[in-house]
Amino acid sequence: MLHSRMLLYLDEVARAGSIRRAADRLGIAASSINRQILALEVEFGVQLFERLPRRMRLTVAGELLIVHIRKTLSDHAVLRSRFIDLQGQRRGLVRIATMGGLANTLMPPLVSWMRVNHPYVKLIIRAMPLDGLVSAMINAEADLGLGYQLPSDPKLRVLARTVSRIGAVMAPGHPLALQRAGASVALADCLGYPMVIPDRSITIGAFLAEAFERSMIGLETIAETNSVELLKRSVTLGETIAFLSEIETEVETRRGELVFLPLRDAGLQHQELRLVARRTAPLDPTQSRVAEELRRMLVAAEVKA
C-alpha cells in the first residue's frame, strides 16, 4: 500500500496521544514520526495535531484525516486477505467487535465452530466498551458488532437481536441462593450483603446505578470494576453478590459454580443484545456464514418470556 507506514504512524499517534508513546509501540525513532507529520502538515497546509505540553491532540483537520486513514487501513487489510485467498492460503477474514463479557462467553464457542467448519478463516475479535464498539463499526474497523444496548444508528443494520435477563449472581452456598432457589429477587432483597458491582462503563452497570439512585438504596459495595471475569470470580470466593446478564454466566451456572437469580425490578429485567453490520458494506460469503452462526447462537440463548 502506498505510504502505508505513514498512515500507520499517524493512526498510532492519534491512538497513543503522544509521538514518543507511538514510537515505543512501533519500535521506531520518535524523530522519524515527527518529521513525517510535519511534512504532511506542510503538504496539506493545515495543522493536524495540537502539540500540548503532555500530549498530542487531533485538530479538526486531523480528525478528518484520521477517519480517511482508518478506512484506508481497513480496506488494505481486506485487500491483503483477498490476495491471500487467491494464493489458496486462506478463504476469509472476519473482524468482530464485541464486549468483554460476551468475548468470554459467546466467542469461545464461535472460535471452536470456526476451527471445525472453516479452518482457513481468520477471526479477529476485539473486546471493547459500548462507545468503542459503535465507533469501530462506523469507522470500518470491524465487520460485525455484537453488544448490549447498541444505539440505533442509520449507518448500522441489525442482523439479529435477543434479550438476556439481568440477575443477581452468587456462589451456590450464599444465604440468598439457599433462600430463593429458583425464584426471582428484587434489589431490596440483596441489601445487607456485600456487593461487587459493574461500573458505569458496562451497560448493566449504568442500569444498576440509575436504579439504585431512583430507589435511594444504600449499597454495601466492596468493589466496582469493568471486568466481568473479576465480578464472577469475586462471588465464588465469598458471600458477595454481583449483577450480570444471564448469557455472561451461562457456563458457570451450568457447571454449578454460580447461581443466577433474575431481578424483577422494573427496568432491570432484560438487556437487549444486537448483532450489527454496516449498512453500506455488504458482507462477503465468509462474513455472512459467521453472522449466521452468531444469529443461531443468539436464538439458542434467547430468553423465553
We report the CATH number of the domain holding residue 205 as 3.40.190.290
pLDDT, residue 3, reads: 56
Domain region containing 198: 163-270
pLDDT digits (tens, 9 = 90+) for 33-77: 888 889 888 888 999 999 888 888 999 998 888 888 888 877 777
Helices (H) and strands (E) in the chain, counts: 12, 11
Instruction: Map grid coordinates 460485525 to a residue.
Output: 144
* Residues 194, 130 share a domain: no
Confidence category of residue 304, pLDDT binned at 50, 70, 90: very low
* Residues 8, 81 share a domain: no
* Residues 265, 173 share a domain: yes
Whether residue 258 contacts residue 233, with contact meaning beta carbons closer than 8 Å, is answered with no
Using the 3D structure, point to which of 65, 81, 109 is the last residue of a domain.
65
Residue 292 pLDDT greater than 50, yes or no: yes
Q: Where are the alpha helices (DSSP H) in 246-284?
A: 246-255
Whether residue 162 contacts residue 298, with contact meaning beta carbons closer than 8 Å, is answered with yes
Mean pLDDT of 14-19: 88
Using the 3D structure, point to which of 32, 65, 98 is the last residue of a domain.
65
Joined together, the cell numbers standing for residue 39 give 511534512
CATH number at residue 146: 3.40.190.10
Joined together, the cell numbers standing for residue 224 give 466496582
Pairwise CA distance, residues 207 & 69, whole Å: 36
207 by Cβ neighbours in 10 Å (0-12 / 13-18 / 19+) ranks as: buried
Pairwise CA distance, residues 65 & 60, whole Å: 9
Residue 117 pLDDT greater than 70, yes or no: yes
Whether residue 270 contacts residue 303, with contact meaning beta carbons closer than 8 Å, is answered with yes
DSSP secondary structure code for residue 269 in this structure = S
* Residues 245, 183 share a domain: yes
Mean pLDDT of the chain: 84
Using the 3D structure, point to which of 35, 65, 95 is the last residue of a domain.
65
For the chain, what is the domain count?
A: 3
CATH number at residue 34: 1.10.10.10
Q: Which amino acid is at 152?
A: S
* Residues 137, 47 share a domain: no
* Residues 241, 108 share a domain: no
Mean pLDDT is lowest, of 183-187, 241-245, 298-302, for: 298-302
* Residues 283, 152 share a domain: yes
* Residues 297, 206 share a domain: no
293 by Cβ neighbours in 10 Å (0-12 / 13-18 / 19+) ranks as: middle
* Residues 250, 179 share a domain: yes
* Residues 91, 28 share a domain: no
* Residues 285, 151 share a domain: yes
Q: Which amino acid is at 235?
A: V
* Residues 15, 99 share a domain: no
Whether residue 199 contacts residue 227, with contact meaning beta carbons closer than 8 Å, is answered with no
Joined together, the cell numbers standing for residue 118 give 472453516
6-20, 116-130, 142-156, 210-224 — most confident range: 142-156
